[in-house]
Amino acid sequence: NPLGSEGASHIVDVVFLGGPMVSLVMSDCQIGLEGVVKIAEAVEASTSLCSLCLSNERKQVLGGMKFSNEIDGMGASLLAHALEQSYTLTRLDLSGCQIGVKGLQALGEVLKPVNYTRSAPDSSVDYKGIVSSWEQRALFAATGTRGALRCLALSTCLLGPEGAEALKHVLLRNPALVGLDLSQSGIMGTGVAHICIALGANPKYHVDSNTTLTSLNLQCCQAYAAGATHVADMVRHNNHLRRLNLSDNDVGAVGARLIADALKVNMSLEHLDLAKNNLGEDGAVYVAEALAVNVRLCGLDISYNGVGDAGATALARAIDKNKSLTLLDVTANLHVSALGAWYLSVAAKSKPTGWDRRLRYRGLPSHLQVRADLPRMLSVADHKRVL
């Protein structure tokens, strides 16, 4: 809705006068700079707000008016000042806002540590409990940790390689950020390299590399095989990252081989998304080789990758050896026939229940359906060979 700055100011007044507010979402409201000033004041004064979303999701044009939040570098600077004073805000979503390098630098000044007690005043306080419990949130405020941001979403912000370089310096010295979303941010292979260096890809920076980030979204960042080289180095050396989304980056079989080699020695990554990366048969085989020896990965997405029966067979053999994988997404790999699906289905059913739990698939026909279709598919293949 096109609230504008005045409308945003009124809503903020009503919301915060009405009582404690945990989450505030004002997406696509065309709030403008004046509205950002009002929101920043509210964030600074609030003792309960944990999540703030000012994203531009739709960017619709209706009657010649674009419904979007006009938050630029100046707006980001105002929010950064508010973050520095806030004891409770842990998640900020600025997706689609063109904050630029200036805005990133302002946020970076807030995210850098004054001292390490600022991010962890009491190691016995559980972060998830703080977010979900009023009593523990009050304790969190009482112990005093201004600038407590943990998750930052900058999806579709068109940051470019320069913005990624600014983020690199933020990540190198930040002891608190645990989630970062850079999907569709246009950072390209060079920008991906900067982010990976901050997370341990380059031994030169190992002393200062980030050890707190556990979730990184690099979806559709135009990384390609060159960027995959740096991602592989990060995966090989980083022992803290738990979730990595590298989907829609066209890393190809070459990039898959590099990442797979790193997965063989990685001991921390639990969820990896490689969807829409043009892996093909060769890429799937490389990933399967990594699965055969990896003991940590729980979820893997290789959907929309042109995988066929050769890749499915390799994956089935790897699954037979793997004891950690619980979810495999093979959606829309149209070259996998009933025979390849049968191998995968049998591999899943042969997995024992217990500490590793039974493996589940997405995008694969049920075992009963595959078993029913298999004789027909084989008879057609035999008929073609005879002809």
Residue corresponding to tokens 């998830």: 128
Which helix or strand (DSSP H or E) is residue 61 part of? strand 61-62
pLDDT of residue 139: 45
Q: CA-to-CA distance for 225 and 36, rounded, in angstroms?
A: 40
Between CA 52 and CA 94 the distance in angstroms is 9
Joined tokens for residue 305: 């990758």
Is the Cβ–Cβ distance between 169 and 108 less than 8 Å? Answer: yes
Taking the CA atoms of 52, 57, 61 and 63 in sequence, report the sign of the dihedral they define: negative
Q: Specify the pLDDT at position 230.
A: 97
Encoded amino acid at 277, one letter:
N
Q: What is the dihedral angle through the alpha carbons of 51, 57, 58, 59, rounded to the nearest 10 degrees?
A: 110
- The CA distance from 273 to 251, in Å, is 12
Query: SS3 for 259?
Result: helix
User: Residue 221, Cβ neighbours under 10 Å: how many?
Assistant: 26
Measure the CA–CA gap between 94 and 69, rounded to whole angstroms: 9
Six-digit token pair at 280? 């093909």
Q: Could you tell me the pTM of the whole model?
A: 0.86
Kindly give the confidence (pLDDT) of every residue in the chain, 387 residues in length, as a single tens digit, with 9 standing for 90 and above: 566 566 667 766 766 665 677 888 888 877 888 888 888 888 888 888 889 999 986 554 444 445 477 788 888 999 988 888 888 888 999 999 989 888 888 888 777 654 433 333 333 444 444 344 444 444 444 444 566 788 999 999 989 999 999 999 888 877 778 999 999 999 999 999 999 999 999 877 767 788 899 999 999 999 999 999 999 999 999 999 999 999 999 999 999 999 999 999 999 999 999 999 999 999 999 999 999 999 999 999 999 999 999 999 999 999 999 989 999 999 999 999 888 998 998 888 776 655 445 788 999 876 666 777 667 666 555 434 432
- Give the other-Cβ count within 10 Å of 36's Cβ: 25
Burial class (CB within 10 angstroms; exposed 0-12, middle 13-18, buried 19+) of 346: middle
Whole-angstrom Cα distance, residue 243 to residue 115?
27
First to last CA, the chain: 64
DSSP state of 212: S
CA atoms of 328 and 275, how far apart (whole Å): 11
Tokens representing residue 25 in the block: 């979402």
pLDDT of residue 319: 93
Q: Provide the pLDDT for residue 159.
A: 92
| C-beta separation of 285 from 257 below 8 A | no
Give the tokens for residue 215: 């979730």
Distance CA(332)–CA(317), nearest Å, equals: 21
| pLDDT at residue 127, rounded to an integer | 41
Torsion of CA 346, 347, 348, 349, to 10 degrees: 50
Report pLDDT for 169. 86
Q: Which DSSP state fits 213? A: -
H or E element at residue 286: helix 280-291
Q: Which two three-digit tokens encode residue 369?
A: 């359906």
The pLDDT value recorded for residue 64 is 45
